[in-house]
Amino acid sequence: MLKKMIVGSLAATLVAGFVLGKDMFSYATTACTNVRDAVKSEITPEFELDRIRNEIDKLMPEIRQHMTVVAEQSVDVKDLERDIVKKESHLTGQKDAIIALRSDLSSSGDKFTYRHVSYTRGEVESDLSQRFEAFRAGEDAVKRDRQILTAQKQTLRANQQKLDSMLGRKQELSVLVSQVEARLKTIQAAEAVNNIEVDDTKLARVEGLIKDLNHVLDVRESMLETEGHVLGRIPVEVESVELQTDVVTEIDQHFGLVADETVAEADSNSSI
């Protein structure tokens, strides 16, 4: 079966090459580009965000490996520091012994006794020479160790700075991912709100129910007012009442009778 598929693919390629000729490569490149663009356009932001998280998680093995290197170098530095302290302490003891022997040799004696054992001047001078050579070798060893310690500290400091930078950049990436995620959720919420479709028929029905309820409440309020008037309740509302004018006074004013009677009464008073 596999053999038939391989043969079929080769035959299709040969036919395509024969039909398209030199343009076959261009057609193939364009087709691949179109397929790639189509696939990318179908990738959702949520999927892309998950992919970015996975890429950040892939940084951790390298960071842990670097952390291991820094930890090992830190232990090596501490071990070397302790070793140098021991060597320097030993050199201090050797120096004291050398100075003591040198002080004894400054005398004119030929015999020297140490811990109940006598030694000739030559023996003491030979022992002093050997001690001094060992002391100088120890000093050189400590000097080399200090140079190594300085180099190790420089390397450790550089690796610590690199580790701090890696951890800082990873933290920055995590913060950026969180910001993108928050932005994506905001957009999703807005899209969800915009995609909500409300049925106008249902809205009209609810509006009608509210209108009917208001009508029922209006009727009940009107009944309460009517019951108040029937039961003889004291009217609180102030109503404007039109004052009725005396018809006689109104006629007198219209025909001027009030004025004439007033003048006649004035004349009679003056004649008296």
Same domain, yes or no: 64 and 79: yes
**Domain assignment present for 67:** yes
Question: Does residue 149 form part of some domain?
Answer: yes
Residues 158 and 64 in one domain: yes
* 23 or 109, higher pLDDT: 109
In this prediction, residue 127 has a pLDDT band, given cuts at 50, 70 and 90, of: very high
55 or 207, higher pLDDT: 55
Do 81 and 21 sit in the same domain of this protein?
no
Domain extent at residue 17: 7-42
* Residue 18: predicted pLDDT: 54
Percent of the chain with pLDDT over 90: 37
Other CB atoms within 10 Å distance of the CB of residue 102: 14
pLDDT score of 211 = 85
Q: What is the mean pLDDT of the chain?
A: 79
In the chain, the number of structural domains is: 2
CB 59 within 8 Å of CB 166: yes
Q: At residue 163, does pLDDT exceed 90? A: yes
119 or 250, higher pLDDT: 119
Q: Are residues 107 and 166 in the same domain?
A: yes
pTM for this prediction: 0.52
Q: What is the predicted pLDDT for the residue at 14?
A: 53
pLDDT for the residue 241: 47
Give the pLDDT confidence of 33-90 residue by residue, as tens digits. Answer: 554 555 455 678 888 888 888 888 888 999 999 999 999 999 999 999 999 999 999 9
| Interatomic CA distance for residues 260 and 244, integer angstroms | 25
33/109 same-domain check: no
- 12 and 91 both lie in a single domain: no
pLDDT at res. 201: 83
Mean pLDDT value of segment 126-142: 95
Question: 177: which residues sit within 8 A by CB, 6+ positions away?
Answer: 49, 52, 53, 56
Distance (Å, whole) CA 50 – CA 229: 76
Would residue 240 count as lying in a domain? no
Same domain (yes/no): 21, 64 = no
